[in-house]
Amino acid sequence: MTSTPGTIARFLTLGGAHVVLTVAYDPQPNPCDHTPVYAWQCAGCTIRRRYSSHTDYADARDTANDHAGTCRSTPQPDTDH
């Protein structure tokens, strides 16, 4: 499994897929004030969520973990061949 840039946590779904939590820094509106933007995506069901700068890390982590605890999706098949 390759690492997604900005990965700060991974959670395992009931079906064995990963939910990957990432952080990026949004330079808008002030380039000197890089605000963290958190997002997560499930590699099984492919649902994703993005959190604005008003949402903190704990909220993003908790919702990613909650999703992993209920999602029964297995990892998507490798289609790189």
| DSSP 3-state of 11 | strand
Instruction: Give dist(CA 23, CA 8) in Å, integer.
Output: 7
Diameter over CA atoms, the chain: 43
Residue at token pair 């993003």: 60
For the stretch 8-20, pLDDT in tens is: 999 999 999 999 9
Q: What is the pTM of this model?
A: 0.80
Q: Give the count of beta carbons closer than 10 Å to the beta carbon of residue 14.
A: 13
Secondary structure (3-state) at 25: strand
pLDDT tens digits, 25-43: 766 666 666 778 899 999 9
